[in-house]
Amino acid sequence: MPLTFAPRLDNVETSAIRELFKLLGKPGIISFAGGFPDSAMFDVEGLREASQKALAEEPGGALQYGATEGYEPLRAQLAAFMQAKGVAGLAPQELIVTTGSQQALDLLGKTLVGPGDKVIVEGPTFLATIQCFRLYGADLVSAPVDADGVQVDRLEQLMAEHKPKFVYLIPTFGNPSGAMLSPERRKRVLELAVKYQTLIVEDDPYGDLYFGEAPPPSLLALTPQVPGSREWVAHCGSLSKVLSPGLRVGWMIAQPELLAKATMCKQFSDAHTSTFAQATAAQYLKAGRMPATLANVRRVYAERAQAMGAALQRDLGDAVAFTQPQGGLFFWARLTGAGGKVRDAGEFAKRAIEHGVAFVPGAPFFARDADVSTFRLSFATADVARIEEGVGRLAKAI
Amino acid sequence: MPLTFAPRLDNVETSAIRELFKLLGKPGIISFAGGFPDSAMFDVEGLREASQKALAEEPGGALQYGATEGYEPLRAQLAAFMQAKGVAGLAPQELIVTTGSQQALDLLGKTLVGPGDKVIVEGPTFLATIQCFRLYGADLVSAPVDADGVQVDRLEQLMAEHKPKFVYLIPTFGNPSGAMLSPERRKRVLELAVKYQTLIVEDDPYGDLYFGEAPPPSLLALTPQVPGSREWVAHCGSLSKVLSPGLRVGWMIAQPELLAKATMCKQFSDAHTSTFAQATAAQYLKAGRMPATLANVRRVYAERAQAMGAALQRDLGDAVAFTQPQGGLFFWARLTGAGGKVRDAGEFAKRAIEHGVAFVPGAPFFARDADVSTFRLSFATADVARIEEGVGRLAKAI
């Protein structure tokens, strides 16, 4: 007799992307497939010093069990970090530390979603969000996205129609869309939150990775402009894309009751986030190295995004359509079919692998009504020369 | 309109122990309440060296995203560690790394437990296990424990009656019971697993903390002696009690299908355990420091357990009954009421706090049919002098 698993597992499928990733081991392949930052840009020396300080100054704090809410010095540093990004007066107790922002999503699912509950996400949205919420029984509804982010009129219709448990958005340099929600739409989203008394989950792992001027303030930072909206925003942040994913340090800011319930759930999920990683992150932030680190990653990713955009235009012409991203890690593109070229991104991905270049087709990023002509290219981990070579291979594959 | 939370939250209550813990801040209090190791015994220097090596030798591996299953060098070290404890031929792919063994429990709940499913636990058992499984809708059934661990005849009756999704045991130096499952009962448990085709979850965070001779092999190590039993055992291990809880490094060994489902669930829970912590733990194990560390903690905890047992007998006499633990961190005791003394451990705990000593009443450790005369004393964090002083205060409080 085999084991029988919980019914919730029937709601998720093994990722189609995983199959593709297995092919990435092929020698000489140029990968635009990943969703991660470039290891070469990690501030290893800064993290080394921070971890040493953590062990030297408070070994008990760094190695013992800690509070589920998070290591106090890190909560204080993160509150200051968020204040510097326009969240005025944020107190350390208004945030909890999570094991990456992935855990914040998991805790939101665990805390809020019961079987059959509706949740609105962007179409397309972060793949692991879709599966994460479905594991708790969520019935996902997709709100369409354009270059200015989620389409707010459509979002309002969907909110009115579905009365969702919450709305999940990546307003700034979304994964995979790369889109940036416009200031006008940000304000409108907050108004909808108040009007429909509906929680907006703002996932913001990419907001610090801007190439030109800074993006508009986060939804959280804008709440003072929309009376009553603050309690309807839960904000998830992360050090993964800007400092190091390996620390698994994320955070969630939310109204007190939600934060208390999420903390209780976290207690039974992993007790607390590694205090060693938390104390290291706290020392790193305290040492004041973050501004230089951010300036460096912004500069390097901006160059790569620039190179990828130019190469795509030069080598693929009107066979693909895309908006040049202003930050983040991704191009989101669409096969136009112009000149009788391939229109199915899954087919294109297979051909691309044969030509020695990998990327991720867009379909799995849609909770519903997948657009199979879309695909995602990451410019984060290849240098400019490899980007140009890789896009050249794409041109051959198309 | 307030937020409405998921129905699963109705299954858990805020811990009664939390209220008690708030009183621990009282100055001068001696605490036997904690469930954690002594920070003074952490091998800070060894962990410092290990973290440095991790960053120096493979900074990308220590700071980048990693495989959900765990960091390969750590899986290899942990497999070797388990082999040394009698699990012959264990391959690294037969285990996944979890964010503390708490996460292994969470993944078992997420993977296996649907609303209303029966799960058998020991009475008493680890508090966070009760809440963790209830969050997934488990209906818990308690199997009684004595000094030789779970009573196997009663366990068989309960398995036959309830057809549980799984049976959760802490066979070696259980929390809070301190009990050690006898070799005969271990074999019987494995036979029951096969007979009833029922998964046994063996949680083993304390097995390395023995004071005299080593305890019997783990259930997992004994599976070769009971044909067909290996696939019915899931084993959870942890570095928290022997090395450092702050690393949040635990692991789970299980049959391939269960391990694959748990890995999928983990992907959406926290993506992976901190690679920085994992790489540090891998370097620590590789450096060969573990045997000396284990010898040290065994020696110190043995002294403290000895001191506590002697003091309890001397100062409280027949007002309490207990079995001297042979390992672990805990005494599990019962108020006998002899001489008209207090029999309610909750009442006793309140009086004890007034006398400057804290411990945890036993009732919350029972999923059903709480024995309110029981309580748990940890001898891990106070030195011998404080233990004797603390037990003296208990005598006054009683």
3-state secondary structure chain B: CCCCCCHHHHHCCCCHHHHHHHHHHCCCCEECCCCCCCHHHCCHHHHHHHHHHHHHHCHHHHHCCCCCCCCHHHHHHHHHHHHHCCCCCCCHHHEEEEEHHHHHHHHHHHHHCCCCCEEEEEECCCHHHHHHHHHCCCEEEEEEEECCEECHHHHHHHHHHHCCCEEEECCECCCCCCCECCHHHHHHHHHHHHHCCCEEEEECCCCCCECCCCCCCCHHHHHHHCCCCHHHEEEEEECCCCCCHHHCEEEEECCHHHHHHHHHHHHHHCCCCCHHHHHHHHHHHHCCCHHHHHHHHHHHHHHHHHHHHHHHHHHHHHHEEECCCCECCEEEEEECCHHHCCCCHHHHHHHHHHCCEECEECHHHCCCCCCCCEEEEECCCCCHHHHHHHHHHHHHHC
Burial status of residue A59 (CB atoms within 10 A of its CB: 0-12, 13-18, 19 or more)? buried
Q: What's the first-to-final CA gap in chain B, in angstroms?
A: 49
Mean pLDDT of chain B: 95
Contact B240 A65 (CB under 8 A): yes
Position A1 pLDDT exceeds 90: no
Indicate which of A3, A8, A125 best probes the interface with B, i.e. most B CBs within 10 Å of its own CB.
A3
pLDDT at A27: 79
For residues B121-126, give the mean pLDDT.
97
Band (pLDDT 50/70/90 cuts) for residue B11 is: confident
| pLDDT of res. B22 | 64
Residue B25 CB coordination number (10 Å): 7
- Mutating which of A1, A18, A38, A63 best tests the B interface, going by the most B Cβ atoms within 10 A? A63
- Using CA coordinates, name the residue in chain A closest to B18: A264
**pLDDT value at A24 more than 90:** no
The whole-angstrom separation of Cα B107 and Cα A180 is 35
What are the φ/ψ torsions at residue B112 (nearest 5 degrees)?
A: -115, -30
Share of chain A above pLDDT 70, in %: 97
**Helices A100-112/A127-135 angle, 10° precision:** 30
- Contact criterion met (CB < 8 Å) for B44 and A64: no
Put simply, the chain A residues between 125 and 154 with a CB less than 8 A from any chain B CB are 128, 131-132, 135-136
Contact between A246 and A281 under an 8 Å Cβ cutoff? The reply is no
Q: Across residues B209-231, what is the average pLDDT? A: 97
Cross-chain residue pair A64–B199, CB shorter than 8 Å: no
pLDDT value for A22? 64
Interface test with A, best of B270, B297, B381 (most A CBs within 10 A): B270
How far B266 CA lies from chain A's nearest CA (Å)? 10
Question: Are residues A250 and A95 in contact, defined by beta-carbon separation less than 8 angstroms?
Answer: no
Is the pLDDT reported for residue A323 higher than 90?
A: yes
What the block records as the tokens of A241 is 């894309």
- In chain A, the residue whose alpha carbon lies closest to the alpha carbon of B54 is A48
A375 SS3 class: strand
Q: Do A274 and B99 touch (CB under 8 A)?
A: yes
CB-based contact, A329 to chain B, within 8 Å = no
pLDDT of residue B195: 98
Contact B111 A9 (CB under 8 A): yes
pTM for this predicted structure: 0.97
Residue with token string 């199979």: A372
Q: Which residues pair with B146 in a beta bridge?
A: B149
The CATH number of A44-289, from 3.40.50.300, 3.30.470.30, 1.20.120.420, 3.40.640.10, is 3.40.640.10
The whole-number pLDDT of residue B35 equals 87
Q: What topology does CATH give the domain B7-43+292-397?
A: Aspartate Aminotransferase, domain 1 (3.90.1150)
For A284, how many CA atoms within 13 A lie in the half-sphere containing its CB? 26
Confidence of residue A177 (pLDDT cuts 50, 70, 90): very high
At B180, phi and psi to the nearest 5?
A: -120, 120
CA distance B274 to A249: 9
> Percentage of chain B surpassing pLDDT 90?
93
A247 contacts B276? CB cut-off 8 A: yes
Cβ(B282)–Cβ(B54) below 8 Å: yes
B291 close to A (CB below 8 A): no
pLDDT band at B27 (very low <50, low <70, confident <90, very high): confident
C-alpha to C-alpha distance for B144 and A269, rounded to whole angstroms: 26
Report the Cα–Cα distance between both ends of chain A, in Å, rounded: 49
Task: Give the list of residues 6+ apart from residue B13 with CB closer than 8 angstroms, or none.
Answer: none
Q: What is the pLDDT of residues A105-127, one digit of tens each?
A: 999 999 999 999 999 999 999 99
**Band of the pLDDT at A14, cuts 50, 70, 90?**
low
Please give the helix or strand (H or E) that residue A257 lies within, else none. Answer: helix A256-269
The answer, yes or no, to whether the previous bond of B291 is cis (omega within 30 of 0) is no
Tokens read off for A212: 């030109």
**CB A77, CB A282: distance < 8 Å:** yes
Structure confidence at residue A12 as a pLDDT band (50, 70, 90): confident
pLDDT tens column, B335-365: 999 989 999 999 999 999 999 999 999 999 9
pLDDT on residue A18: 61
A 44-83: CB under 8 A from B: 44, 47-48, 51-52, 55, 59-66
C-beta atoms of B268 and A128 within 8 A: yes
Shortest distance between the Cα of A273 and any Cα of chain B, in A, equals 7
> What single-letter amino acid sits at B35?
G
Look up residue A246 and give its DSSP letter. G
Rounded average pLDDT over B114-128: 96
Over 60: is that where the pLDDT of B16 sits?
no
**How would you class A33 by CB atoms within 10 Å of its CB: exposed for 0-12, middle for 13-18, buried for 19 or more?**
buried
d(CA A320, CA A303): 21
Range B92-99 average pLDDT: 98
Question: CA quadruple B97, B103, B108, B110: dihedral positive or negative?
Answer: negative
**Residue pLDDT, tens place only, A189-247:** 999 999 999 999 999 999 999 999 999 999 999 999 999 999 999 999 999 999 999 99
Whole-number Cα distances in Å, A282 to A42, A273, A276: 16, 13, 10
Q: Mean pLDDT, chain A, as a whole number?
A: 95
Interface residue of B255, B276, B293, B297 to substitute, partner A, most A CBs within 10 Å? B276
| B60/A111 Cβ within 8 A | no
* Surface of A (10-49) touching B: CB under 8 A: 12, 14, 36-37, 39, 42, 44, 47-48
Question: Which among B7, B37, B65 is the nearest to A245, CB-wise?
Answer: B65
CB A71 within 8 A of CB A280: no
Q: Do A3 and B106 touch (CB under 8 A)?
A: no
pLDDT, tens digit (0-9, with 9 covering 90-100), for A325-372? 999 999 999 999 998 999 999 999 999 999 999 999 999 999 999 999
Do the Cβ atoms of A102 and B264 come within 8 Å?
no
Q: Is the pLDDT confidence value at A301 over 60?
A: yes
Asked if B336 reaches chain A (Cβ–Cβ under 8 Å), the answer is: no
Residues of B in contact with A37 (CB under 8 A): 64
CA atoms within 13 A on the CB side of A306: 9
| φ and ψ at residue A142, rounded to 5 degrees | -100, 130
* All structural domains of chain B with their residue ranges: 7-43+292-397, 44-289
Q: Hey, is the C-beta of B239 within 8 angstroms of any chain A C-beta?
A: no
Cβ contacts of B197 on chain A, cutoff 8 Å: 1
User: In chain B, which residues have their Cβ closer than 8 Å to the Cβ of A4?
Assistant: 165
Q: Which of A22, A44, A99, A136 to mutate to test the interface with B (most CBs of B within 10 A)?
A: A99
Q: Locate tokens 């990998």: which residue?
A: A358
| Min Cα separation A229/chain B (Å) | 13
Sheet holding B330-335, edge to edge: B320-322, B330-335, B374-378, B360-361
Give all strands (DSSP E) within A100-196, no chain letters: 118-123, 139-146, 149-150, 166-169
A44 contact residues in B (CB cutoff 8 A): 55, 59, 63
Residues in A closer than 8 angstroms to B271, CB to CB, are 100, 102, 128, 245, 248
